[in-house]
Structure 1
């Protein structure tokens, strides 16, 4: 019997007690739907009614029992929620992924090679680059989905012992960037599945940094869809054993905490979390960080913490100067490679000034943000533009503001 078949049969025997073959066969088809599938489902999820926490059994060799189950209230089907709640690397491996995710003209290798790991990492780097520069929709999302299928299929291929941890770490890294792309395109369930695979793979690889990054994204996604309490929980999970995390990664997670507290209207909690993020970032040394953390520079840090301060200014009537100053640093610091981040920070800065400052200055900033946003396939950036348009209604009749309103409408209709 070929090695690949032996491995597949062994995995099925080992995990056959799960009794989920039918569920997983149905759910897996939904994991990586064609890019146009989002036309068939509702738009972004709004405030979930509650949170479901599902314990996933721990396994030897893992850092911690991973739990990245999604909030309930999703528009997804019951089967998809069941998949999210029960999946793990053990369960995923019980599938015949060769049949489910591999095209007939792309047979799996008989053994994992170093080249397979390098290709997964190269795909992750390229998707990350495209996602930040262009947004997660359109062709970027299609590329991301196909890359994830290819990578996950390698998890059932016999792997030399010395390549197991690098393989799981590579799939975790890819799952993070693919999940981020799906999140940006509002394919929220696809994003959660990619993040869950990433979390489990990071655990198997015993990579604390990748694990922290997964929980940072899960936190931000939960906050975005209106569940900041769950987002705060995810951010706190990411900070478990913070002594093993670099200061930059700690700053990233404290920024996520700040954003959750901001949405909750907790002024003291937000200010404390922003302070913790600033303190950690002040100790940042890029040489200590994994290469994929290079994006978290001064501009990114100030943009992330500015969003938390924005919520305090708008929701809790706090001083808008804190957020305005941080947005200014973020917009000035982001390069063209991070056009989406620059567009989102600029749009939120313009909204802040429309609500709490000079509307003419806000209009000028809004026009610059539109220069970037108009070239993106980002549902998040589009929603922020919609919010900015609502804020402009306070200043109807001002020529600068009216021109901005017209341009936003044209951009959103394009």
Structure 2
């Protein structure tokens, strides 16, 4: 006999009230959570958790759920109160810090991301304090007007009085350049050090005047830069910065009505959560990215299904992971040249095999599972990645070496690992180091073999360089 759903307490918060209203509308339409989920491409469990405030929801999803239960805009309108409540809570959380800073910095600026950060005056900060704040750890202050006063009011580095198409193109070029460096060198080092000034200037454009027809393009460009920086921060294990930057990138995508950028941002948010040991949250982001999949290209859909596969694999659910891989393969087979936005150019055959291979790697390590799929996918990725994607090739190589070591072929594993180490040594990537640590653990049982001992010594030298 089905258990009666637990009553929801709508008095806890506006968000709880919204969840209760979603359930009320669903029940009024006599729809199950599965039926509602099917309309917005989410599972029944996910709908139930959204109703209970156990899973995140955003404005785009709230609007889709409103349509799914035919609420006539009631849930969309109520969601505005949810956002206002979140803004008030963020303001309250920042109040103490604001009062401390008030004397030197004047009135607070109103943030657009419910963050309301202080506007820091260059005159009020010592050189040491400014360096500490403007490490990426200070990027949590993401309102569009934050940091604007640090830019000169005149001269070649000043913000323009009005945004032009050329300014938007410059931001996109900066994002592409950083993405290229990130793939080539990893998220640490020059990539992290050079990006903050670009971000402050680009985000400042949102506070400048701009023609209405440039709004979507401007938010897309700034959001794209934020997503690139968030992905780089993730690779450098600046996790708090990655979380905020990717969240800001998602918000920009929604402000710019860009479903392609939204998919990219949510893909990275999913992977970030999965890597940090929260695959259930990662699955939520991946499935949210697949909302209105009719607006996404096959490569974008495939990318998000790969994130689903990796989440299921980390949750030790091989059947669901393999089903997601199969779905990704099927959709990727429909991809055609020229249909994607420029930043999706990375997602080629090698990337597809690498992404699915990483999910298959986690499946292969489970008892009773075959290693054939993982080995085949990772080998294809390694051979297919060009020199522009050194990190991707190194990550797949390290995974393949680890799997080969675990399955009892240390001689072959050493050969694969040495090639991967040649490339890891070129990177500033904490993700690559973590994978190398896993390889070290896998090689421990063969540590007395001369070739493995030499490999382990080389790993130590490479990681500590």
Choose the corresponding residue for 2:200, options 143, 149, 153: 149
| 8 A contact 2:263–2:290 mirrored in 1 | yes
Which residue number corresponds to residue 391 of structure 1?
Answer: 442
Give 1:118 shift: 0.7
Q: Aligned partners of 1:297 and 1:203: how far apart in 2? A: 26
Structure 2, unmatched stretches of 5+, are 1-52, 66-75, 83-92, 98-109, 117-141
| 8 A contact 2:299–2:332 mirrored in 1 | yes
Query: Does 1 or 2 have the higher relative contact order (CA < 8 Å, sep 6+)?
Result: 1
Matching of residues 351-370 of structure 1 within 5 Å: 351-370=402-421
3-state SS in 2 of match to 1:159: coil
Q: Aligned partners of 1:87 and 1:308: how far apart in 2? A: 39
Question: CA, structure 1 residues 136+337, in 2 after alignment: closer, same or farther (shift >3 Å)?
Answer: same
Which residue number corresponds to residue 299 of structure 1?
Answer: 350
Choose the corresponding residue for 2:300, options 249, 264, 275: 249
| 8 A contact 2:175–2:224 mirrored in 1 | yes
Which residue number corresponds to residue 263 of structure 1?
Answer: 314
Give 1:130 shift: 0.2
| Residue 97 (1) aligns with residue 146 (2) | yes
Which residue number corresponds to residue 36 of structure 1?
Answer: none
3-state SS in 1 of match to 2:395: helix
3-state SS in 2 of match to 1:265: coil
Q: Which moved more, 1:312-321 or 1:330-339?
A: 312-321
Give 1:302 shift: 0.5
Structure 1 segments of 4+ aligned residues over 6 angstroms from their partners: 58-67, 90-95
Matching of residues 269-308 of structure 1 within 5 Å: 269-308=320-359
- Which is greater in Rg? 2
Q: Aligned partners of 2:368 and 2:425: how far apart in 1? A: 31
3-state SS in 1 of match to 2:452: helix
Which residue number corresponds to residue 230 of structure 1?
Answer: 281
Q: With structure 2 as the length reference, what TM-score do the two structures score? A: 0.70
Q: Aligned partners of 1:282 and 1:157: how far apart in 2? A: 43
Q: Aligned partners of 1:261 and 1:173: how far apart in 2? A: 27
Question: CA, structure 1 residues 87+95, in 2 after alignment: closer, same or farther (shift >3 Å)?
Answer: closer
CA deviations 1:193-235 (Å, max 9, x no partner) are: 1111111111111111110110000000000000000000100
Q: With structure 1 as the length reference, what TM-score do the two structures score? A: 0.79
Which residue number corresponds to residue 161 of structure 1?
Answer: 212
Choose the corresponding residue for 2:398, options 324, 341, 347: 347
Which residue number corresponds to residue 126 of structure 1?
Answer: 177
Q: Aligned partners of 2:166 and 2:258: how far apart in 1? A: 20
3-state SS in 2 of match to 1:216: helix
Q: Aligned partners of 2:354 and 2:408: how far apart in 1? A: 19
| 8 A contact 2:400–2:416 mirrored in 1 | yes
Which residue number corresponds to residue 252 of structure 2?
Answer: 201
| Residue 403 (1) aligns with residue 454 (2) | yes
**CA RMSD after TM alignment:** 2.9
Give 1:315 shift: 3.1
Q: Aligned partners of 2:335 and 2:144: how far apart in 1? A: 42
Give 1:374 shift: 0.4
CA deviations 1:91-111 (Å, max 9, x no partner) are: 679764354553567332111
CA deviations 1:3-52 (Å, max 9, x no partner) are: xxxxxxxxxxxxxxxxxxxxxxxxxxxxxxxxxxxxxxxxxxxxxxxx97
Structure 1, unmatched stretches of 5+, are 1-50, 68-77
| 8 A contact 2:246–2:269 mirrored in 1 | yes
| Residue 181 (1) aligns with residue 232 (2) | yes
